[in-house]
Structure 1
Amino acid sequence: MLKKIQGEGKGASVWKASFSIVVFIGLLVLLGFSILAAITFGNADISIQEVYRVVCYELFHIDEFSAYGEGAVHDVVWLIRFPRVLLGASVGMGLSVCGVVMQAVVKNPLADPYVLGISSGASLGATAAILFGFGTLFGSNSVGIMAFLGAMATSFAVLFIANMGSRANAGKLILAGMAVGSVCSAFSSFLLYIANDKNGTAEVTYWTMGSLGGAKWENVQVILPVILIGTLIFWSQFRNLNLMLLGDEVSITLGTDLHKVRMIYMILSSLMVGFAVYCAGMIGFVGLIIPHVIRMVFGTDHRRMIPFSGLLGAVFLIWADVICRVILENAEMPIGIFVSMIGAPCFIYLMAKKSYGFGGDKG
């Protein structure tokens, strides 16, 4: 009887592993399809054949398509659309993975990458750059770089405050993030008030809405490796992330002290979110909604949560950007607005739900 039960358990484990592999491959295929399909959308009237001839020439240098190596069609497809799609995939993956990690770090299923004040710090940095010219030594990228520095500074401030008096835990991290985020928001509002600059205020507002319109190959070459490496690192840490859901007391009894690990995860997450903010501005709710979708379908094991959330987040933001590009004639909706229009109702639904949490725990 015991052997029969063990055999059934082993069979279930093999089936679950096989199913996970199939889902992973399916999401990879869906991501590849999304990238190739998304570059065919836009306001410019370019045929699908022309789009793929440009791509084939740039990737494989096929002499037959050499005529598409330059010109307006080439520039639209290769210098505007393609890096924009890859940037969307990178940002979507980064925000989704960081959402999974943040929810585990603070043991709150309604947390997202911006819960610890990172967004407010980035907004303060961008506001200072736009209104008062801080960071001009960084040239044309001053706004994005100042936003990145603001996000990182905020993260270190949260860690410092959370460790004051006693070691940081999930509750102290949330409270410190709320406090630092409120201070940064107040300073941003103060700068907007004293600047009295209508054009600058409009630019700050547009930046906080988020957009992939400024995508360049230079940005993609920076953010894509950072996001991929960060995702792989977190994927390798699935055991510690699973332990965080059990709490510090349980993890200590199991021989693992999560304090240092939590600090490292915070810094790495802030780095990934900072790069996302630097390249695309503020895009909320991706790191909140995508992990919940994966958790409800596939469970709470971070061995599956990390890769599935990253791939689905990349696909989601690619198609969200496509909709933003085509929904208005001869205009473009900021992607942050569209994502919030979807994410806010989902957030309300999760809050109103009678039971939600990690693996169905009541919240």
Structure 2
Amino acid sequence: MTHSPTRERPGFEPLVFSGDDLEHDQRTRHAWIWSAGLLAALLLTLPIAVGLGPVSIEPGTVLQILAQNFGAGPETGDWSASEQSIVLLLRVPRVLLGAAVGAGLALAGVALQALTRNILAEPYLLGVTSGASTLSAASILFGATAGIGTASLATSAFAGALAAGIAVFLLARVGSQMTSTRLVLAGVSVGYVLHALTSLLIFASDDPNAGRSVLFWTLGSLAQATGQSALVTWVVVLGTLGCLMCWSRPMDALAIGDATAQTLGIKPAKLRAAVMIVTALCVGALVAASGGIGFVGLIIPHVARLCVGSTHRQLLPAAALLGALFLLWADVLARTALAPQELPLGIVTALLGAPLLFMLVRKLNPAQ
């Protein structure tokens, strides 16, 4: 019995799925599942983190207080006025700011590691955090920007971070070219100079209490969080995420190498300049709100890559969520470990991040 050849309907072509297409779809699905899980974990963490502290408040009570504040809950409850003030005026702004700062630092780390093709790149490496610390120290110790008013410290930190970013950009740019190696070397050089200037300012000050304030602030803290600072920081972080997501495919190519990027029509120098400017603006806003917090921008991008891979379209949201979670729990430890005394947040992130970094180093390919 003979079979006649199968006739295909005009206008239709048989669908052929290659192994690469299926593998890509599986990786993408896996990445978004991870992101959804991290988002759910973050939403669950928020009321828990608000309730934890020297004065503990049940998560259910936290949710009832928030619901009442937005007109969706009972008019009265079994909580005290002091508990309501703690939740609304202290804990909620602090938790929202902590989530924003953690997400922003993780995004900055992802961007800088792609920019420089250096697994150790983070805001500290490129001197941006050091610039913020130097001008903030000048503001605290000598009132360098006292004429601005209550926003003098935040303004000083933002201006310092932006000035450091511009300095690194100008030093690294030779002609119309800016390579990753020159960017790293320029960042390290600027960072060391600014760190020395900060130490010199502390040494030159006659006020030991002011020096202690500078030290505590440069190690990071969310104690000065307000609703306004949390809102502004979230706007900056979401804007940064939007810009980096638009550049996700060019950043994929840049992370492989300049030659690959150029073959795809990408101009590496212009892309580096754009990413550097956005990152400097973001880190300036973060340091202005919370001081210098290390290890988040270094360790979180690597952990996120283990979860979702290296494609920036999936990596950026996952890193932001993971960074927010990490900093929220670090802040909980900072305010509860030695309660009622509060630890600088940078100490806690270093103690938590260093073991994670060591485990990642152990997993690296021997060739690396």
List aligned pairs for 1:2-13, cutoff 5 A. 6-13=17-24
Shift of 1:49: 4.1
- From 223, 229, 233, the equivalent of 2:233 is 223
- From 248, 266, 274, the equivalent of 2:276 is 266
Residue 129 of structure 2 aligns with an amino acid whose one-letter code is: S
List aligned pairs for 1:1-363, cutoff 5 A. 6-59=17-70, 61-62=71-72, 64-66=74-76, 71-165=81-175, 167-348=177-358, 355=365, 362-363=367-368
The alignment partner of 1:272 has SS state of helix
Bigger drift between 203-212 and 190-199 goes to 190-199
Shift of 1:5: 8.1
The alpha-carbon distance between structure 1 residues 308 and 198, as it changes in their structure 2 partners (threshold 3 A), is same
> Partners of 1:180 and 1:68 in 2: how far apart?
55
The alpha-carbon distance between structure 1 residues 13 and 48, as it changes in their structure 2 partners (threshold 3 A), is closer
The alignment partner of 2:149 has SS state of helix
> Partners of 2:163 and 2:17 in 1: how far apart?
52
* CA deviation vs aligned residue, 1:68-88 (integer Å, no higher than 9, x gap): 999322210011111111111
> Partners of 1:257 and 1:62 in 2: how far apart?
52
> Partners of 2:27 and 2:131 in 1: how far apart?
41
Residue 25 of structure 1 aligns with an amino acid whose one-letter code is: A
> Partners of 1:96 and 1:143 in 2: how far apart?
23
The alpha-carbon distance between structure 1 residues 349 and 23, as it changes in their structure 2 partners (threshold 3 A), is closer
Q: Percent identity?
A: 36
What number of residue pairs does the alignment pair up? 355
> Partners of 1:236 and 1:39 in 2: how far apart?
33
> Partners of 2:266 and 2:314 in 1: how far apart?
22
> Partners of 1:101 and 1:277 in 2: how far apart?
17
> Partners of 2:135 and 2:214 in 1: how far apart?
11
Shift of 1:14: 2.8
The alpha-carbon distance between structure 1 residues 70 and 134, as it changes in their structure 2 partners (threshold 3 A), is farther
The alpha-carbon distance between structure 1 residues 88 and 134, as it changes in their structure 2 partners (threshold 3 A), is same
The alpha-carbon distance between structure 1 residues 82 and 68, as it changes in their structure 2 partners (threshold 3 A), is farther
Say which structure is richer in helix.
Answer: 1
The alpha-carbon distance between structure 1 residues 354 and 12, as it changes in their structure 2 partners (threshold 3 A), is closer
Shift of 1:197: 2.2
The alpha-carbon distance between structure 1 residues 109 and 47, as it changes in their structure 2 partners (threshold 3 A), is closer
* CA deviation vs aligned residue, 1:165-189 (integer Å, no higher than 9, x gap): 5621101111111111121122212
Shift of 1:48: 4.0
> Partners of 2:244 and 2:27 in 1: how far apart?
21
TM-score (norm 1): 0.91
Contact 1:128 1:191 in 2 (8 A): yes
* CA deviation vs aligned residue, 1:126-170 (integer Å, no higher than 9, x gap): 110011101112222312221111011000011011114562110
Contact 2:336 2:342 in 1 (8 A): yes
Contact 1:53 1:65 in 2 (8 A): no
The alpha-carbon distance between structure 1 residues 213 and 77, as it changes in their structure 2 partners (threshold 3 A), is same
Contact 1:209 1:283 in 2 (8 A): yes
Task: Give the match for residue 359 of structure 1.
Answer: none
Shift of 1:215: 0.8
Question: What CA RMSD, in Å, does the superposition of the two structures yield over aligned residues?
Answer: 2.2
Residue 64 of structure 1 aligns with an amino acid whose one-letter code is: P
> Partners of 2:275 and 2:59 in 1: how far apart?
42
Contact 1:58 1:69 in 2 (8 A): no
Task: Give the match for residue 11 of structure 2.
Answer: none
* CA deviation vs aligned residue, 1:21-53 (integer Å, no higher than 9, x gap): 222211111111111221111112434443222
